[in-house]
């Protein structure tokens, strides 16, 4: 019986028979792996809580990394950000020692793959920096120091720890970049060519450069001799074309060439010089005009002048015309800092305003206008733009729209372009007489505003109440507007919905909030609401007669009347001259209907179609 051979410490070489055995073993292993791959994984069926509990007992995050790479389900489950606690727990309870937290921007799975994966990190590296990490606990401190040395960080010195520095400069780059540079160098070398060809090309380029510089030097000499600007000389059609042609053909320009064309060149240089002067003058004039326009806006914003003319008339003032005609590149500093210029502008504006006041007074029917009082109503600012009229300040600053630039440039402000607003003037005098207010009183306007909604237009059907600020604009609807003064109690009884001055102006803008408000169906017509007898719903009388069972209850409860019906009754009592009783069916009575609501644009169309009102005012609508 033969004895078993002893196992030596050396491994025998793999012969042909041994190689076949290894290949058979690998084939068997692959077949077994394929069989197990077709079997169901019990880890896929585990809930996340049990899976995380099992993975909390692993030796290192490397095991969690291996589980995550088993199949797609486990990979998606463990790579979910909500399940990062599994990787964090494995990192903290690592048997070889707790690992550091991932650097900023790194996830737990990515850091685990960086630490525990094998393979080559770069072509110049032999193995990864963490190939044998955490294989044994005694070497943990050494491995930790090695990892800290491999992490990129800022250095305050020009050497790496553990490597002696060299006095010779070193160039460090990626191997792929170095190979690409070598290949590019070899490609250029193989292109061929000799040093003679290269030198010939250099000489040709040098000769062309010398010729170009010589022609430029010759042009400078010609311009200096004739007293011209060299830029103007090179931009002339004759000399410029000759200069470019000779330079491209590597030919020099001689004095004889210049003398043959001197007369034509001189005339062209003169034209270019004059053109440059005109351009500079026009640019300076535009700059001065822009400075004056900015100063006009500065005065207008500061409010130092109560009344200002238009910008075109402001440019026609004597001091402004003088400044505009000055030969200066800018007027900004002079207009801002000069007190003399400010005083002259103030005097010229005052004279222009007095002349405009007298001219407009003649238009209104006052041939000789003298206002010695500084507290007169002329100093009270007013605004009648919403009413379709202009006050004195608005007339002075008025510019006709829809004009071309040529028409605006030739337009001259004149009082003859304005006509008096007779309707607005008559109704204001009528209101002042009703209220007993003197028109010369500086506080006349404020006293009228304080009266509130006490002005009733009897020319409208039905009558409409408004404040004094809408009288001038409302008067455009009638040939002879009749206004009555009512008490505050009567005004409150007519106004079920509140009246707000300037409400129409707040709704005609282009902001998103204003567009959204206009699109809501919250606007009603006061003309329909204040009509004494509107289109009302007819209800049989039998439906309105209370039953005997409800009589006792109705006698105990106070009688409540609909506000709309109450308002209609008041209108029928106070405005009997404009009311009439429509015919209704026998056995029926009228019941006031609820007001009809519109969107803002629909209300405008309603007022135009039903009431013939082209320009809607604050008194024509209400908002619920």
- The full DSSP string for 348-408 is HHHHHHHHHHHHHHHHHT-SS-----TTSGGGS----TTTT---HHHHHT---SS--HHHH
Residue 572's pLDDT band (cuts 50, 70, 90): very low
pTM: 0.50
Q: How far apart are CA 78 and CA 48, in angstroms?
A: 9
> Looking at residues 268-289, what average pLDDT do you find?
92
Reply yes or no on whether the pLDDT at 549 is more than 50: no
Reply yes or no on whether the pLDDT at 393 is more than 90: no
* Percentage of residues in the chain having pLDDT higher than 70: 71
What is the CA angle 378-383-389, rounded to 5? 100
Q: How far apart are CA 444 and CA 377, in angstroms?
A: 8
Reply yes or no on whether the pLDDT at 562 is more than 60: no
Q: In what order do the strands lie in the sheet with 483-485?
A: 464-466, 455-457, 483-485
Task: Give residue 99's pLDDT.
Answer: 81
> Looking at residues 156-168, what average pLDDT do you find?
51
Are the C-beta atoms of residues 265 and 236 closer than 8 Å to each other?
Answer: yes
List the structure tokens of 457. 């237009």
Task: Give residue 579's pLDDT.
Answer: 38
Residue 499's pLDDT band (cuts 50, 70, 90): confident
Task: Give residue 531's pLDDT.
Answer: 65
Task: Give residue 5's pLDDT.
Answer: 40
* Percentage of residues in the chain having pLDDT higher than 90: 23
Q: How far apart are CA 198 and CA 75, in angstroms?
A: 62
Task: Identify which has the larger pLDDT, 282 or 124.
Answer: 282
Residue 615's pLDDT band (cuts 50, 70, 90): confident
Task: Give residue 445's pLDDT.
Answer: 83
Of the candidate ranges 27-31, 391-395, 482-486, 591-595, the one whose mean pLDDT is the lowest? 27-31
> Looking at residues 315-332, what average pLDDT do you find?
88
Burial readout 311-327 (b: 16 or more C-beta within 10 A, e: otherwise): bebbbbbebbeebbeee
Reply yes or no on whether the pLDDT at 133 is more than 60: no
Helix (H, G, I), strand (E, B) or coil at 465: strand
Mean pLDDT of the chain: 76
Helix (H, G, I), strand (E, B) or coil at 590: strand
Task: Give residue 295's pLDDT.
Answer: 92
Q: Which of 462, 463, 594, 620 is nearest to 536 (CA)?
A: 594
Per-residue pLDDT of 420-467, as tens digits, reads 888 888 888 889 988 888 878 888 888 888 888 889 999 998 888 998
What is the CA angle 167-168-170, rounded to 5? 120
Are the C-beta atoms of residues 269 and 233 closer than 8 Å to each other?
Answer: yes
Q: How far apart are CA 91 and CA 109, in angstroms?
A: 10
Q: How far apart are CA 185 and CA 491, in angstroms?
A: 99
Residue 153's pLDDT band (cuts 50, 70, 90): low
């Amino acid at each position: 019986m033969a004895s078993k051979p002893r196992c030596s410490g050396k491994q025998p070489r793999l012969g042909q028979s041994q190689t076949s055995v290894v290949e058979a073993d690998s084939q068997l292993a692959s077949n077994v792996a394929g069989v197990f791959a077709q079997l169901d994984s019990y880890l896929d069926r585990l809930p996340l809580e049990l899976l995380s509990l099992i993975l909390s007992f692993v030796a290192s995050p490397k095991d969690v990394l291996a589980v995550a790479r088993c199949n797609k389900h486990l990979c998606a489950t463990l790579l979910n950000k909500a399940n990062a606690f599994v990787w964090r727990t494995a990192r903290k309870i690592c048997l070889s020692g707790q690992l550091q937290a991932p650097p900023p921007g790194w996830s737990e799975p990515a850091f685990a793959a960086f630490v525990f994966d094998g393979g080559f990190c770069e072509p110049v590296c032999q193995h990864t920096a963490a190939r044998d990490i955490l294989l044994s606990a005694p070497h943990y401190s050494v491995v930790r120091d090695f990892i800290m040395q491999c992490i990129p960080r800022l250095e305050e010195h020009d050497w790496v720890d553990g490597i002696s520095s060299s006095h010779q400069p070193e160039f460090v780059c990626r191997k792929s970049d170095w190979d690409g540079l070598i290949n590019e160098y070899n490609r250029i070398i193989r292109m061929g060519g000799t040093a003679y060809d290269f030198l010939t090309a250099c000489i040709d380029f040098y000769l062309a450069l010398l010729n170009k510089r010589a022609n430029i030097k010759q042009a400078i000499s010609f311009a200096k001799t004739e007293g011209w600007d060299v830029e103007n000389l090179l931009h002339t059609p004759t000399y410029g074309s000759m200069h470019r042609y000779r330079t491209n053909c590597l030919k020099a320009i001689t004095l004889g060439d210049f003398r043959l064309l001197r007369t034509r060149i001189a005339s062209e240089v003169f034209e270019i010089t004059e053109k440059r002067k005109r351009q500079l003058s026009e640019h300076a004039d535009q700059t001065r005009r822009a400075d004056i326009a900015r100063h006009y806006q500065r005065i207008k914003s500061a409010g130092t002048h109560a009344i200002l003319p238009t910008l075109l008339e402001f440019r026609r003032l004597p001091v402004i015309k003088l400044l505009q005609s000055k030969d200066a590149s800018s007027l900004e500093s002079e207009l801002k800092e000069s007190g003399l210029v400010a005083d002259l502008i103030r005097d010229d504006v005052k004279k222009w305003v007095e002349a405009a006041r007298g001219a407009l007074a003649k238009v209104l029917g006052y041939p000789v206008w003298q206002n010695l009082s500084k507290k007169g109503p002329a100093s009270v600012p007013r605004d009648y733009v919403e009413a379709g009229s202009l006050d004195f300040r608005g007339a002075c600053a008025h510019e006709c729209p829809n004009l071309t630039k040529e028409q605006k440039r030739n337009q001259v402000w004149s009082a003859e372009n304005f006509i008096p607003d007779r309707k607005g003037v008559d109704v204001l005098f009528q209101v002042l007489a009703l209220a007993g207010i003197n028109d010369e009183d500086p506080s006349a306007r404020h006293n009228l505003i304080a009266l509130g909604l006490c002005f009733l237009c009897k020319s409208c059907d039905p009558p409409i109440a408004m404040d004094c600020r809408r009288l001038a604009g409302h008067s455009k609807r009638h040939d002879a507007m009749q206004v009555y003064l009512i008490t505050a109690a009567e005004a409150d009884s007519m106004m079920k919905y509140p009246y707000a001055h300037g409400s129409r102006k707040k709704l005609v803008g282009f902001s998103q909030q204003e567009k959204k408000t206009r699109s809501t169906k919250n606007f009603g017509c006061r003309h329909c609401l204040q009509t004494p007898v509107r289109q009302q719903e007819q209800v049989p009388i039998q439906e309105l007669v209370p039953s005997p069972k409800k009589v006792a209850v109705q006698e105990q409860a106070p009688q409540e009347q609909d506000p709309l019906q109450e308002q209609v009754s008041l209108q029928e009592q106070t405005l009997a001259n404009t009311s009439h009783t429509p015919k209704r069916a026998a056995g029926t009575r009228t019941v006031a209907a609820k007001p009809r609501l519109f969107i803002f644009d629909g209300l405008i169309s309603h007022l135009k179609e039903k009431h013939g009102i082209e320009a809607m005012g604050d008194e024509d609508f209400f908002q619920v």
